[in-house]
Amino acid sequence: MLMENSKCNSTTFVDVLKHYGMYEPETKYKVVCPFHGDINASLEINQQKEFWYCYGCNKHGGSIELVKNFAELEGKKLNDLQAMQKIKKISKSPIYNNIYNINNNTNNSSVDISYKQGIDIARDYYFNLPKTNWFKPNGEEEIINIRNYMNKRGFKNITLSKAEAKATYNKLYSICFPMYDNGVFRGYVMRTMDPEVEQKRKYMYNKGFRRERTLAGDYSTDTLILVEGFLDKVKANQIGLKNVAAILGWKITNTQLKKIQRKKIKTILCALDNDECGRKGYRYLKFVSKTFGFKVIRIHYPKGIKDMGDITSKNADYILRQVKKHGGS
């Protein structure tokens, strides 16, 4: 995927600001917004966060959005790739050029290099997104909408905060979660709130992400709870479960199995989805369990519940009792 709202580094952002005559030698300042009839200097620029926001017309973003909005003033409509090409001409930053090349290099001959570079780019993107205050969104409609959507799905504000979720200001994929494999950053996953987009692709991962290499979660004890999706893992943490990892699909991979084997995990509590794919995933875990030295116990869901993400405070005890019975936490 293209790195939407990509914040490459401060040099790139400054280059773009200078190109459009919006640069000032201050960390945070306001200028007259060129995108509407502004007379009050409504557009705030934060060079430290590499982000701009207009309190008059509500337009906002990073370098890419700035280029796209200026293009619209000239009657042109640029997509992300075209905006990145424009920024490449503006900026001399080697980091930005590397990001541009990775996003366009579909014939990379080395998966290892692409994977490692993908992690670096994902880290740069995620950690340069402004931190989102899910408790006090300060009237930001976009954050409020995301929060309301996640709250309706049973995710609390404290959960979003602990999971380090951030608003992306991307209309298609609005919320971003970092993924850690036993404390090591491996990339990010974005979730859409758009019903039409959800039918096609609910989640979007960073460029170069390899799900087969990642156990997204924590597995430091001899009993591990496995779920399918990353938000299943987030919900499991919310109801009080700690040693939980998402395999990011229904079938565990050999690389993931080897990670479990190296940690000498003795018991897998299988909480994969309550559907045919989840049942296939459970049977596969049982099939390989002797080879990798662990036993597998199926965690059952209440009637009508498809996966861990659907668990609420009303039925959480149903899961917690099973986990406690089998030595999980």
pLDDT, residue 79, reads 85
pTM of the model: 0.67
Would you call 131 exposed, middle or buried from its count of C-beta atoms within 10 A (0-12, 13-18, 19+)? exposed
Secondary structure class of 126 (helix, strand, coil): helix
| Beta bridge partners of residue 54, listed in sequence order | 43
- Is the pLDDT at 170 greater than 90, yes or no? no
Q: Which residues contact 9 (CB under 8 A, 6 or more apart)?
A: 50, 93, 95, 96, 124
How far apart are the C-alpha atoms of 219 and 260, rounded to whole Å? 8
pLDDT score for 9 = 42
Distance, CA of 79 to CA of 206 (rounded, Å): 18
- The domain 212-329 is classified under which CATH number: 3.40.50.300, 3.30.590.10, 1.10.10.10, 3.40.1360.10? 3.40.1360.10
Question: What is the predicted pLDDT for the residue at 201?
Answer: 81
pLDDT tens track for 226-282: 999 999 999 999 999 999 999 999 999 999 999 999 999 999 999 999 999 999 999
Mean pLDDT of 191-220: 87
Q: CA–CA separation, 246 vs 237, rounded Å?
A: 12
Domain with CATH 3.90.580.10 in the chain: 10-104
CATH 3.40.1360.10 positions along the chain are 212-329
Give the pLDDT score at 114. 63
Residues 58 and 53: their CA atoms lie apart, in Å, by 7
Per-residue pLDDT at 88:
80
Tokens in use for 278? 């989840």
What average pLDDT does range 56-69 have in this prediction?
90
Residue range 117-132: mean pLDDT, rounded:
85
Smallest CA-to-CA distance from 285 within 311, 267, 262 is with 267
Sign of CA dihedral 155, 156, 162, 167: positive
Question: Phi and psi at residue 295, in whole multiples of 5°?
Answer: -100, 155
Residues 308/235, Cβ–Cβ less than 8 Å: yes
State the DSSP code for 269: E
Confidence class of residue 327 from pLDDT cuts 50, 70 and 90?
A: confident
d(CA 146, CA 162) in angstroms, rounded, equals: 16
Residue 211 in contact with residue 291, Cβ under 8 Å? no
CATH of 106-209, one of 3.40.1620, 3.90.980, 2.30.230, 2.60.40: 3.90.980
Strand-pair category, 51-54 with 184-191: unpaired
Q: Which CATH class is domain 10-104?
A: alpha beta
Let me know: does 143 contact 167? Beta carbons within 8 Å: yes
